[in-house]
Chains A and B, each alone.
Chain A
Amino acid sequence: MERLEGLAKLSGAERYVDDLAIEGALWGMTVRSPAPRGRIREVRFDPDIDWSEYVVVDHRDVPGANEVLLIEPDQPILAADRVRHVQEPVVLLAHPSRTAVRRAARGVEVVVDPEPAYLDASVPPRPDQIQRGDDNVLKQLRIEKGDVDAALASAWRVVEGEYRTGAQEHVYIETQGMIAWEEDGVLFVKGSLQCPYYVHKAALRALGRPADRVRVVQAPTGGGFGGKEEYPSMIALHAALLALKAGRPVKIVYDRGEDMAATTKRHPSIVRHRTGVDADGRLVAQDIDVLMDGGAYVTLSPVVLSRGIIHAAGPYQCDNVRIVGRAMLTNSPPHGAFRGFGAPQTHFANERHMDVVADAVGLDPIELRRRNLIAEGGETATGQTISDGVDRVGILDRAVELSGWREKEAAHRELARSDPWIRRGIGLACFHHGAGFTGGGEVMLASRLDVAGLADGRVEVRSANIEMGQGTLTIFTQLAAERLGVDPGAVVIAEADTGRVPDSGPTVASRTAMVVGHLVEEACDDLRARLGHDPGVSGAALRGALVAWHADHAGEELVGHAQYAPPPGVRWDDATYSGDAYAAFGWATYVAEVEVDLRTFGIRVIDFVALQDVGTVLHQTLARGQVQGGVAQGIGWALMEECRWRDGAMVNAQLTNYIVPTSDDLPPIRVAFSETPWAGGPQGAKGLGELPIDGPAPAVLNAVARAVGVSPCEIPLTAERLMELVEGAGSELARSA
């Protein structure tokens, strides 16, 4: 099946928020804090502007609670008397002319009496920087198994390391955008978003309305990657407040610079490892400390930290593990969801560290992995038994073979001898990613999904999970069509409109195909059952039966329902952070080959192999695309994407200066799948969306380390940082050949 909406996108017919012309709409703009922390002394309006032309909204206009509903009620929709980060929203304006409202936004000055800002999470806060508890800790978590201290004390060798990752900006090509209007007493919000029901719940809280008086509709969404998981609630509430005050529709679309400077980014991290190994290169102890910078409000930091620590020990068998994680409050704009959600940070540290361990104990990095990868029946750091039949060592071996590792290694050594400037290296990463919400999360979500049989014989899938390029529309159509034995043309996917679809949960956490796709199948089964049909009947006969049913039941609906039920035997203990963290894991080995130019210290990835097992592959082209896109983002994060901060503000908030890979910066990304069906997923599929971004950064850095003989521990590994490492090494690399 080709991508359902592919032609619409290729032809430019698909209409995103900014493409929608709304009769009588006003343009909205946001006035923001210039300071990272302080009390708002005054908001000054330029007396030369006729403010009567503008709709002006501040915190006093919030009818309900001035809070953006998420995990904790700490983030205001609009700052009232204090600000906690640069770009924090304070005042909203609207006007029929976009240029006029841009101009007017400059005419509003937010005067802040500054307070000491806490901007460096790597050092403990001073007393005058404390803004939460007595230590600015947003969340603390701990995983413990066995006796780490004893195991370290008796280990044959202990290897330490510290690894740092920086913030990463999503750079979805369509910026954040939202339209709000009121119609017959119902507030409508339509926009670029991943989770219609998150926005819906946030609107109920902020506006104090009952659920049936708010309706949230997802517009075609030009990229999300997590950046449109929680942030859209904020911009939706802004548009809504303006629309309600104006009595007219309001559209807010962020300029790229505003989007980059003000919205969420991947949590920066510092991860420290102390690893004990025995004389056979087996891991006997993993002592890991994870520190994340959460920014100014809690947002999703507890969950990012959670996923980060659960993955922090890697796909390895080790009986003694301690992982302590802290997310810190700082006066940066809040960090948030970004594909991988904590796991890329901790996998970077762990997989880079595994190469450091391999060097320290004199083992080949492939062999170290081979000896430690979890075998069937083995146990993760949280004590989850892995029994999905995946041959993790087989994946490792096949990835190594596909990459041409041995031949390339020899060629690289030869090149280093003969060329004055060019070095090449090859490196790998083994990693995993849990699909679906952690622990009891899916149970808590209690996702529901419907498949309706229509009077014309077609079926309609009603879910809140959205398409943002990852293929939801196509996959759901395919699953429903195959389950019911009908032609894909007989399946229609309902618009993700909270007025029309049940809450099937957010489009996040690699859950859409695996968890929600499974619900599609179950709802199809329920639909058939309600038709009173033999499960074997399908195709034209099924369609005929639907038509006939509707003829006999005029004006009624025939809807098959599905409700999430956890796979049997999954147990998780939130108090001890132990048990079955995820229903299913994807497993992968990635191999990167790099070329380093010692004249400029520039690094290029010249070959990349991405081999993974995510159960059954539902759609080859879509799955391959997910992997390649995730790898590209991972390579960008590893080598060139850097947020530069000054006094809590992002100073490179332009695409000219925040560098993402172009087509000329990447090699062809070679993708292969091993397929071990997982019974809990639709047709045996597991989640895939995030796994690919966990592996590239450590694979690339491991390759650079082997190319040049230095030990990079921080990303992005820019040319400047590589130069410092090479020159600091004092080897002959620092001088010319």
Chain B
Amino acid sequence: MNVYRPAELDEALERMASRPVGDPLLPVAGGTDLLVHWPQRLDEHERDVLDLQALDDLRGVRWSEDWLELGALASYWDVIVDRRAGEEFPLLARAARQVGAIQIQSRGTWAGNVVNGSPAADGVPVLMAYDAVVVLESRAARRTVPLDAFYTGYRRSVRQESELVVAIRIPRRSHELQQFVKVGPRRAQAIAKVGLAVTRSEAGWRVVAVSVAPTVRRCPTVERRLEVGPPPRSPEDLDEALTADVSPIDDFRSTAHYRSRVLARVLYDAVREDARDDAAPGR
């Protein structure tokens, strides 16, 4: 196992570009997904690693006139303690506080959560509901991909082997409605059984569902229904639209039936005309 720990982004990208195809470096940000059960993951002990922690340029939470930019090494805790983020993008802190507990929040990164691509991800849904954009860099080029176009399938994305996620950008805009719900088996340290992030702004409705499809994803049919249809009067009013957008399964964490019923209920509760911002289930 070779560990590369570049202090400059160029060097990191150079190393990634010069790997043989099919034998990429393993980029490591906070390690909170990769290191789980590490002693048993003997095969992964053989892989060469790109430790990102010396890339100081990737740290931090940066504000510009139009964007909030989370560097690739920005942790959940970095956002929880950022006052402006708490005011402008409250869902970020709300989601971050429900990731594990302090030990995970201090180390886990938003970029790592995006790249890991779990369908039960905690950071991805709120980023997606805020129209986040993923900034990818390789030795050859830099490009941006909207997060809602980033995933191509279960734990697969448009990221090439030689590309590194260097930042996540969130457009600054005002929201009339923002709601995040994570339904887990307990309050903290939980993997979402089902979840939801909803925003409404001048850009329209964004409804993002968690743990009900192979990837975290937007629900375009639901968004259209909310945009053009009469306000829903019950969770059942949203069933048809949800069925078009999500495909929950039974697994050892929960059932398809529970996921679809509860998703409809929390969605309805989030978007109903007299919704109260502080009354969401969970925190």
Contact = CB atoms under 8 A, between A and B. Distances in A.
Direct contact of A and B (CB under 8 A): yes
Interface of A: 98-99, 102-103, 106, 255, 257, 421, 597-602, 640, 644, 651-652, 654, 656-657, 659, 661-662, 664-665, 718-720, 723, 727, 735-736
Interface in B15-51: 36-37, 39-40, 42, 45
A664 B100 CA distance: 12
Contacts of A98: 39
16 contacts: A98-B39, A99-B42, A102-B42, A421-B281, A599-B269, A601-B262, A640-B185, A644-B252, A651-B252, A654-B37, A657-B252, A659-B185, A662-B189, A665-B187, A719-B183, A736-B268
Contact of A257 (B37, B101, B253, B255): B37
B266 interface: yes
B258 A664 contact: no
B254 interface: yes
Contact of B39 (A106, A255, A602): A255
Given A597-B281, A720-B255, A602 B101 contact: no
Contacts of A727: 261
Given A597-B281, A659-B186, A662-B189, A720 B254 contact: yes
B42 A656 contact: no
Contacts of A602: 183, 281
A76 to B, nearest CB: 26
Instruction: Please list the 6 inter-chain residue pairs (A to B) with the smallest Cβ-Cβ separation, ordered nearest first.
Output: A664-B187, A720-B258, A659-B185, A599-B265, A736-B234, A665-B186
A599 B185 contact: no
B208 interface: no
Contacts of B147: none
Interface string B189-200: 111010000000
Q: How large is the interface on B (under 10, 10 to 19, 20 to 34, 35 or more residues)?
A: 20 to 34
Q: Pick from B181, B187, B268 the residue with the most CB of A within 10 Å.
A: B187
Contacts of B181: 600
A661 B186 CA distance: 7
Given A255-B39, A597-B281, A720-B257, 4 more contacts: A99-B39, A99-B42, A257-B37, A736-B268
B183 A600 contact: yes
Contacts of B45: 99
Contacts of A255: 39-40
A736 B40 contact: no
B234 A735 contact: yes
B281 A599 contact: yes
Contacts of B234: 735-736
Contacts of B190: 659
A102 B42 CA distance: 8
B261 A723 contact: yes
A656 B191 contact: yes
Contacts of B191: 656-657
A38 B262 CA distance: 42
A598 B268 CA distance: 12
Interface in B168-193: 181, 183, 185-191, 193
Nearest to A421: B269
Contacts of A421: 269, 281
Given A99-B42, A640-B185, A665-B187, A652 B265 contact: no
B259 to A, nearest CB: 9
Given A257-B40, A652-B252, A662 B235 contact: no
B281 A600 contact: yes
B1 to A, nearest CB: 12
For chain A, what secondary structure do more than half of its interface residues adopt (helix, strand, loop), or is it mixed? Answer: loop
A218 B37 CA distance: 28
B236 interface: yes
A421 B280 CA distance: 10
Contacts of A640: 185-186
Interface in B253-283: 253-255, 257-258, 261-262, 265-266, 268-269, 281
Contact of A718 (B185, B188, B236, B262): B185
Contacts of A662: 101, 186-189
Nearest to B274: A420
A195 B102 CA distance: 37
Nearest to B233: A736
A639 to B, nearest CB: 9
Interface string B237-260: 000000000000000111101100
B253 A657 contact: yes
A103 B42 contact: yes
B261 A102 contact: no
Q: Pick from B191, B253, B261 the residue with the most CB of A within 10 Å.
A: B261
Contacts of B42: 99, 102-103, 106
A489 B189 CA distance: 42
Contacts of B186: 640, 659, 661-662, 664-665
A600 B265 contact: yes
Contacts of A597: 281
A652 B251 CA distance: 11
B40 A102 contact: yes
Nearest to B272: A736
Given A652-B252, A736-B234, A736-B268, A599 B262 contact: yes
Nearest to A652: B252
B252 A723 contact: no
Given A599-B262, A599-B281, A600-B265, A102 B252 contact: no
Given A102-B42, A103-B42, A720-B255, A600 B266 contact: yes
Q: Pick from B42, B101, B181, B252 the residue with the most CB of A within 10 Å.
A: B252
A473 to B, nearest CB: 31
A102 B37 contact: no
A657 B281 CA distance: 21
A661 B187 CA distance: 9
A664 B102 CA distance: 13
Interface string B91-112: 0000000000100000000000
Given A99-B42, A597-B281, A735-B234, A719 B268 contact: no
Contacts of B252: 644, 651-652, 657
Contacts of A601: 258, 262
Nearest to A719: B258
Contacts of B255: 720
A257 B257 CA distance: 29
Nearest to B280: A599
A601 B194 CA distance: 12
A664 B261 contact: no
Interface in B37-82: 37, 39-40, 42, 45
A423 to B, nearest CB: 13
B197 to A, nearest CB: 15
